[in-house]
Each structure stands twice: as C-alpha cells, then as structure tokens.
Amino acid sequence: MFEIIPCLAIGRGAVWLPPANTDHPISRHPLRLALSLKAEGAATLYLVDLDHIEALPAFAPAVLLGLAHADLRLWVGGGIRTPAVARRLLALGAEQIVVRTLAMERGHLRRLTEAVGAEHVALALDFRSGRLVTDHGQAHREPAAVLAEAEAAGIRRFLISAQTARGNIDFSVLTRWPVEGRQVWAAGGVRSAADLVVLHQAGLQGAIVGRALFQGKLASERSLPSPKGGHRLFARPTPRRPASNDTGQDSDGQPRPQAGGAQ
C-alpha cells in the first residue's frame, strides 16, 4: 500500500509551512486540522515539533494527548535525541519517532533503538544535489556509512528528502533506496500527483506531504495510486472514498494560500 502522510509542522501553537518565520500559519488550531485530515481519509500524521527543535518547551506532547482517541497513527519528529524524550512521546501515543543524523553522534542511535525498540524509530535523511546533508555542526558523511550504521542499529524505516539544485524532487536518489526489508518514504519536494505516481512505481512505501497538500496541488485524485483500484488522496487499511473538499479554503474555513513559492 502506498500511503500519503500529511506533515504538520507545529510551533507557537500553530501549523506552519516552512519557513515558519511568518505571521501567516496554515492553521492556529492543530487539533482541528489533524481531525479534518483524518475525516478526509488520512490514517497517519507526521508531527514536527518546531518548538522542540528551537529548544523551547515541546508542543507535540499536548497534540498527542489531544489526539489520544482519534484512531490515528502518529509519527513525531523534531529535536529527538535521547531515550527519555522518545519514551515520553511513545507513552503519550506516538507510534513512530523520527530522528536525524545528529542522533547518530557518539552511539546515541543504537542506545535509542535499544531503549524503545528499533521498530519505533525512523531515520530522516536530506540530500541536496545528490549529496547527503548532515545536521548543523556535523562533518560530511557518506550515505553508505550512515546507512550501514543505521541498519546495524536495527533501523528499517527511512524518510528521504532528495532535491535538485533547483528545488525539484530528485528521483535519481529516491529510486535507489527501496530494497527488500527497507521501508522508504519520500519526505519533501512533492509538487504534484504525478510525482506521487512515480514514487509509487519506484517501490516507495509512500510520501510525506506538506506544502503541496495545503496549497491544493494534490486536489486532483484521478491519477493517484490506490490499493483497491480506485483513486483517492489517502490510502487507508480499510479503503473508503472521502468526499471532495476542494473548496479553495483551508481546514479552518480560511482562504487557502495560493500556489507558488519554494517547495
């Protein structure tokens, strides 16, 4: 099943498109937006805690509590580097925590997977123009070495962001990652339903989408993959076709931002 997972970047009590340094969030009601996405068919949400990344009080725990009975699979990322933080998020209802290369420093990744179980940990990697981009302050690392260390720690789930110098999705990188026993999601750069079809055909598990979803670029469902031969935006374990919600407004009833800008 190819799954499309909405990404909610949450900071200062609101949901933002990156960069989050504007005065115009997508929604000032993260829970309302999350539940509206569920109503449209989303089975999984990826929550990125922008506050925790900036060493501010984490906001994700409050969202997890608010969605405790929502029947959603919840992935959480943003500044997670220690077993204590990971355990807390899992205890609050997260199914998956997402870490970046900074969590691989000094053996932290192995300690993390041993503490909470590798099945609950995914590694997010960024590629720009074919080159792996490590977190701030880290030396350059070869992708093969990072992959070997991650898989030695038991990691089998990867979120791969791969973009060209012009900001387009880099299919040449993404299509090399899917192999037996490894689950790969595209994370970033998706601009259209046609991109999703290519990723599906390349054997990826799914795609994490944000800007293209909230700017209405994925509103057309006719070309999207579906596990039962139908066509819709979100694939669910028990398929059902959601009603169209392409009203030109966001999930809070506000005018949807016009397409354009960086992806």
99 in any annotated domain:
yes
Work out the pLDDT band at 105, boundaries 50, 70, 90.
confident
195 in any annotated domain:
yes
101 in any annotated domain:
yes
Dump pLDDT digits (tens) for 127-145.
999 999 887 656 678 899 9
Predicted confidence at residue 219, as pLDDT, reads: 65
27 in any annotated domain:
yes
Pairwise CA distance, residues 151 & 229, whole Å: 34
List C-alpha distances in Å: 184 to 150, 151, 191, 222, 224. 13, 13, 18, 24, 18
* Residue count of the chain: 263
196 in any annotated domain:
yes
60-69-204-166 Cα dihedral, nearest 10 degrees: -40
Domain that holds residue 104: 3-214
Q: List the CATH number of the domain containing 109.
A: 3.20.20.70
230 in any annotated domain:
no
Dump pLDDT digits (tens) for 209-260.
999 999 888 865 544 555 443 335 675 433 333 333 444 443 344 433 333 3
Q: What percent of the chain has pLDDT over 70?
A: 80
Q: What percent of the chain has pLDDT over 90?
A: 58
pTM of the model: 0.83
Work out the pLDDT band at 104, boundaries 50, 70, 90.
confident
78 in any annotated domain:
yes
Give the number of domains in the chain: 1
Pairwise CA distance, residues 14 & 8, whole Å: 9
Q: What single DSSP character describes residue 46?
A: E
222 in any annotated domain:
no
Structure tokens at 218: 């994925």
- On average, the pLDDT of the chain sits at 83
